[in-house]
Amino acid sequence: MEKRVNVIVRGLVQGVGFRMFVLREANMRELSGWTRNLPDDTVEIEVQGDSGLVDELLNRVRTGPSRSRVTALAVRETNLVTTETKFRVLG
């Protein structure tokens, strides 16, 4: 079963390679969606695909790359986007 989630990641997540980490992890799982930095120093992720693989990605995001420090994750399910085929970094 497929699902799509919107995620806001708080902590030390900008300037530490976080978006590229998410891109690699999403591509390894063949997930689609995007990630971007927000002005309040958080990172936003929208990701979709097999629900088990999305959950795997979320577990990796909770840890993040070695230079990051994730303090909170806000996750909410959202509607699938049927036209999306790959994962990308915005901005």
Dihedral-angle region of residue 31 (phi above 0 means left; psi in -120 to 50 means alpha; beta otherwise): beta
Please, what sign has the CA dihedral across residues 23, 68, 5, 49? positive
Q: For residue 43, with 0-12 CB atoms within 10 Å meaning exposed, 13-18 middle and 19 or more buried, which class applies?
A: buried
Q: SS3 for 55? A: helix
Question: What percent of the chain lies above the pLDDT cut of 70?
Answer: 100
Taking the model in full, what pTM does it have? 0.96
Tell me, yes or no, if 19 is annotated catalytic. yes
From the candidates 6, 10, 36, 37, which is the catalytic residue?
37
Active site residue 27: no
Write the pLDDT tens digit of every residue in 22-53.
999 999 999 999 999 999 999 999 999 999 99
Residue 68: pLDDT over 90: yes
In this prediction, residue 91 has a pLDDT band, given cuts at 50, 70 and 90, of: confident
Its CATH architecture, for the domain 2-79, is 2-Layer Sandwich (3.30)
